[in-house]
């Protein structure tokens, strides 16, 4: 079970890192999308349309990055507390099965 918790922790951490990358590179990705649109128009297009496409692409990447970052942080915190509480429960739980195997009284 600990392997699943550790796997979930690393998945959430990578999601948060991916969200940060999308947030910080959203401008570059947005301009690249705008340039791609401009090339599909034959290299000539309306300036206001280009600006709208670039701003929309930047906003999309910011939104995706923010969602990934938020979900990654929440899952990272949740798995940390789950692991922490599970360890405390394991330490405080009475061990009846070991006593029975050893022949001791319950």
Of the chain, the percentage scoring pLDDT greater than 70 comes to 81
What's the N-to-C CA distance of the chain in angstroms?
28
Joined together, the tokens standing for residue 66 give 């923010």
Helices (H), the chain: 2-24, 26-40, 47-92, 96-101
Residue range 93-106: mean pLDDT, rounded = 56
Query: Which of the pair, 5 or 8, is modelled with greater confidence?
Result: 8
pLDDT at 48 over 70: yes
Burial level of 98, CB count in 10 A (0-12/13-18/19+)?
Answer: exposed
Distance CA 22, CA 29 (A): 9
Q: Tokens 């590179």, residue?
A: 25
Alpha-carbon distance 17 to 89, whole Å? 31
Which comes out higher in pLDDT, residue 57 or 89? 57
Statement: the pTM of the whole predicted model exceeds 0.75: no
In the predicted structure, residue 106 carries a pLDDT above the cut 60: no
Residue 25 has pLDDT above 80, yes or no: yes
Radius of gyration of the chain (CA): 25
Can you say how many angstroms the Cα of residue 70 is from the centroid of all Cα atoms in its chain? Answer: 7
């Amino acid at each position: 079970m600990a392997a699943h918790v550790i796997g979930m922790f690393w998945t959430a951490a990578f999601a948060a890192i991916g969200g940060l990358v999308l947030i910080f590179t959203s401008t570059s990705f947005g301009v690249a999308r705008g340039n791609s649109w401009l090339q599909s128009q034959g290299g000539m297009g309306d300036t206001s349309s280009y600006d709208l496409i670039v701003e929309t692409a930047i906003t999309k990447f910011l939104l995706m990055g923010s969602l990934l970052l938020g979900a990654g942080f929440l899952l990272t915190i949740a798995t940390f507390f789950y692991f922490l509480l599970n360890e405390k429960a394991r330490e405080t739980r009475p061990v009846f099965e070991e006593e029975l195997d050893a022949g001791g009284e319950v």
